[in-house]
Structure 1
Amino acid sequence: MKLLQALFFPPEQPGGVSSMIPYLQERFNPPHWEMDIFSIPKRIRSKGTDQVKFHTFDWTEYGDSPVVQKYIQTYRDYLWWTKLRIQRPYDLIHAHHPIAGLAMKEIFPDTPVIQTIHSSYERELLLNGTIQKGGPEQRFLTSLYRELEHQTDQMLTVSRSFLDYLSPHVERPEDIGVISNGFDEKRFKPIPHDNEVAQLVTVCRLVPAKGLDILLEACAKLKRKGHPYVLHIIGDGPIRPELEQMAQELGIYEETIFYGYTLHPEEFMPFFDIFVLPSRAEAFGSVFAEAALCCLTLVGTEVGGIAEQIEHGVGGLLVPSEDSNALASALETVILDPSYRYGLARTGWEKAKREYSIARAVHELKKVYLQYQS
């Protein structure tokens, strides 16, 4: 079976599905399987000129929005690049971004296309303050879910909670499957270590949706209580200057290290103690599974896929979103009690190996793919 994994971001893009797919590719071996990976380079801008028409809604009703205009042009560019670069036929295409799925079905209408929805762009834009609730951008982006349902042959998502989010925007939510992301254990190697001062780490894009302002507030409370720690922030993004300024104003700049973008954080993540990320929304939260596989103690918010990964008090700790007091209390608990911290980490590690292995994801995907074997 000849498979195409259609991404938006290139595989070298850090985090999430783009970094996962190459490890899937290693498990789909010839002669029974042949898998290629496709994505659009960042340099492709304003090349496409195709007229865009969707089957389930008129996108031009929202066409005055610059966000919508940019999305449509990106779709045109993906169409242009796909027509230019893909010459061979495939038995099945698995798309991992709405633009990829719609473009592939437009160009290859007779090829089965499976669409996995990994995250919510409109929810991220809302949380980041880029668009307004109920505005044209949100209505346009949520309308795409029904268009994908109409156009593609099967829809999947990555968590039960995100299926609940998608349900109001499609006609047949019961037909959407759930396959959580899978991770290659060989990339994540727990390393025994004994840090005299608790080492906290977070890995994410530096955007408002990740709740790093709440994390800095919580860390300031820890310092006022006299609890020593170091906070390592791995990642980059538009609000980095604001976060650095906030750390200075809160008096915790000396305890906080901003690394910027790092290609392979999993290589040194095992040397930390506690992974913490107070996200305001997560469809799945791949970085929690990655941290668990490094045997770090997990502290996260009760949102989306995070709450499905962490059983509170068993495999980590959960706190309400937007609550810096609760986050500080949870961090204080695991900082002061290393034995409890290690027990949480060990249980989280066992669950991640059991439920989020690459082997499990490959097994579930093969069952789906084989349904379309001619």
Structure 2
Amino acid sequence: MESLTLLEKLVGFDTTSRNSNLELIQFVRNYLTGFGIESRLVEDATGTKANLYATIGPTDRGGVMLAGHTDVVPVDGQDWHSEPFKLDIRDERAYGRGSADMKGFIASVLATVPKLAAVKLHTPVHLAFTYDEEIGCIGVRRLLDVLGGLPVLPAMGIVGEPTLMRVVAAHKGKAAFRVTVRGHEGHSSNPPAGVNAVEYAAELIAYIRSLARERKQNGPFDPLYEVPYTTLHVGTVRGGTALNIIPAECVFDFEIRHLPEDPPDGLIAAIRDYAAKELAPQMQSVAGETGIEFTERSTYPGLCTPPDAAVVRFVQGLLGDNNPPGKIAFGTEGGLFAERCGIPTVVCGPGNIAQAHQPDEWLALNQLLACDTMLDKLVQQLAR
């Protein structure tokens, strides 16, 4: 399979989010140039990372956008049984970082390019490859700024995150924050003279936990999600220097993964109010310099494409699948394409999200073949 050859090349680029993705992007750009296809780069502020956008076919009408992120998560500390950035084929699986999430889809798209270039398309195909999705859907936002200024936008989008080649029309959104609790240091033999940042952080964490329990008990609910309600989660806590010192600082991170119809604004406001009205006055009654600060780490909207939308029916037709579209808990760039540019979007790609981010990440070869088949049908649909 040509897609497998291309996947081997793509996995060989270490595009962990902390690294540049320009080597991969330049490879893709040169590959497209070989078929007479021009592409546009949208770089980050440092010039060390870039999105790529290209159109194949007529430029005066909407068409279908095929979108995917080029970055991958780290392999640090993971127990791999093969080289993470060297594709290893065994047991009808392709092992390598990014094979499932989501270079398999990009490889399949690139393998379809020669067919797209060889036919006369009546409807264009747009390619959108981004950076830094894994750390908060960052790169795509710069691309969206450019797309918003184009005279013609894609009429629909397919984000190729791993869904086992099933059509997904909705996913949860996410809001992530870092909270810094500034206390007042002192000797632990006299706790009232200090402000214990760890203990006040614990009170705020307990409040966040109470909001999580309330959502679990009272909803709103959507039974089509595996976890059918909005969730809140505290992932890291760091604070204190020694047992006999009242901690002067504690930092923790929390996230909200919310149903598209349950925006997180009210929860965020409640958490901020509890910190400002309940905890901060107690802290500042002892030491005026104390307080609690919130820093937004990342946010992206949920996706909620109607199940009878044209893009849903179109992709179902490519797959020969009449089942209702699914819903997933993990996020994608699809919500941003829909919200910022009004591009109706679904998620559909090869592989299983259960393998994503794991040691020995793998993509089943039959999944890659299924994606190739879907894109071949796309070519047939859009050609004269």
Q: TM-score, normalised by structure 2?
A: 0.26
Larger radius of gyration: 2
* Bigger proportion of residues as strand: 2
Higher relative contact order (CA 8 A, sep 6+): 2
* Bigger proportion of residues as helix: 1
Q: TM-score, normalised by structure 1?
A: 0.27
